[in-house]
Amino acid sequence: MNASLPQTHSPGALAERKAYYDRIGQDSMTPLWEVLGALVPPQPRSPAVSHHWSYADVRSQVMEAGRLISAAEAERRVLILENPALRGQSGITQSLYAGLQLIMPGEVAPAHRHTQTALRLVLDGEGAYTAVDGERTTMRRGDFIITPAWTWHDHGNLGQEPVVWLDGLDIPIVRFLDAGFAEKNESEYQAETRPEGDALARYGSNMVPVDFYQAPAEPTKVFVYPWERTIAALKAVARGTPDPHFGHKQRYVNPATGRSPMPTMAAFSQLLPAGFETKPYRCTDGTVHVCLQGSVQAHVEGRDYTLHENDVLVVPSWHSLQLRAGPEAVLFSYSDRPVQQALGLWREQRA
């Protein structure tokens, strides 16, 4: 030990350090030892908090946007769901974005493309479509639809009622990497180059075109996962024994690779039998949950929430989650798990 170094926190020693920090600050340097604990925490300490958005409570606010601005003027008429502890950052977690998008009858959200990947979960209303890469798909409640990075997409509403869906995007990830590009199409709509249902028939029917090969990181060609198929599969799976931590939980895959449909976001569908209670579970991927059917009590690190249909719950990284179904419940969820897994960072813990 060097006896000449000040080992105490005497006011003189601290003042000398502070003056030193000010001097090195002039050269854009700062001492690691003051921040090491925060930089390299023993376990994740997300600045995000758990939070619940009741659809019944916010629906009228979403509809009000329909009176204040058109889809054409807004480009996308969306209310961003901001984590209360991350206001101003357009994030529901540090890595994920969520928003409620509204499209009124007769409107078009014009064609554009960007390097951010989007997922949609259709919540409310009928008659809208989204077009991705030349193919339109009718949006029905519970449908999970993907807009892969850099694909042209526009949305329209040919029906009689407002349509609302949840947007999940990897906007904060792309922003963090400073890798965002976007462009607008010259025309509002993209040309339809394939009939509705083409991608699902071609890539989502336990077969792929004979000469098709996909690299592991490429996004799925199946861009719609219809609710009808999801619920039929979950009901059939639910004839078996539920997992203590998950109930009956399936992850969506790109059928050509078995991997996540998107390189940056994973998506899940989960059925909890009536009255079923999961054991506490935590994982490093902060997750956005949406209740599609029934109702669920969620217990997150000492906070309790009740989710009804179309409600959104965000559970930050490494927060313990316990769910209890009222009547039989179905939850959709998405997270950044594929990113964490690709980097060897993902962890989970089952209590």
Rounded to whole angstroms, how far apart are CA atoms 293 and 201? 27
**How many residues sit close enough to ligand GTQ to count as binding (CB under 6 A)?**
9
Residue with smaller CB distance to ligand GTQ, 101 or 322: 101
- Residue (118 or 292) nearer to ligand GTQ, CB: 118
- Nearer to ligand GTQ by Cβ, of 58 and 231: the residue is 58
φ, ψ of residue 109 to 5 degrees: the values are: -95, 110
d(CA 115, CA 147): 10
Tokens of 17: 């350090």
Identity of the residue, 78 or 128, whose beta carbon is nearer to ligand GTQ in the bound complex: 78
Least distance CB 155 / ligand GTQ (angstroms): 6
For ligand GTQ, the closer CB: 154 or 311: 154
x/- mask, ligand GTQ, residues 246-265, rule CB under 6 A, reads --------------------
Q: Does 167 bind ligand GTQ (CB under 6 A)?
A: yes
Q: How far is the CB of 109 from ligand GTQ (least distance, A)?
A: 6
Closer to ligand GTQ at the Cβ: 99 or 247?
99
The residue within the footprint of ligand GTQ, chosen from 17, 59, 76, 245 (CB under 6 A), is 76
Nearer to ligand GTQ, 78 or 292 (CB): 78
Distance in angstroms (rounded) separating the CA atoms of residues 275 and 174: 40
Shortest Å, Cβ 49 to ligand GTQ: 22
> Least separation, in Å, of the C-beta of 166 and ligand GTQ?
9
Query: Contacts with ligand GTQ in 6-45 (CB under 6 A)?
Result: none
Q: Distance between CA 333 and CA 289 in Å, rounded?
A: 4
Positions 77 through 96 that interact with ligand GTQ (CB under 6 A): 78
Q: Please give the torsion angle defined by the CA atoms of residues 247, 252, 253 and 255, in that order, rounded to the nearest 10 degrees.
A: 100
Instruction: Name which position in 46, 51, 99, 222 contacts ligand GTQ (CB under 6 A).
Output: 99
Q: How many residues does the chain have?
A: 351
Least gap, CB of 148 to ligand GTQ (angstroms): 12
Give CA–CA dist 294/264, Å, rounded.
Answer: 29
Give the shortest CB-10-to-ligand GTQ separation in angstroms. Answer: 54
**Cα torsion through 145, 149, 152, 154, rounded to 10:** 40
Nearest approach, Cβ of residue 17 and ligand GTQ (Å): 46
Distances in Å between the alpha carbon of 78 and those of 143, 251, 333? 18, 27, 19
Q: Which listed residue (79, 86, 103, 118) binds ligand GTQ by CB under 6 A?
A: 118
Nearest residue to 266 via CA among 219, 233, 325: 219
Q: Which is nearer to ligand GTQ, 110 or 127 (CB)?
A: 110
Q: Taking the complex as a whole, how short is the minimal distance between the CB of residue 113 and ligand GTQ, in angstroms? A: 8
Minimum CB distance to ligand GTQ smaller for 153 or for 337: 153
**Least distance from ligand GTQ to the Cβ atom of residue 329, Å:** 26
Which residues here bind ligand GTQ, judged by CB under 6 A? Answer: 76, 78, 99, 101, 114, 118, 153, 167, 169
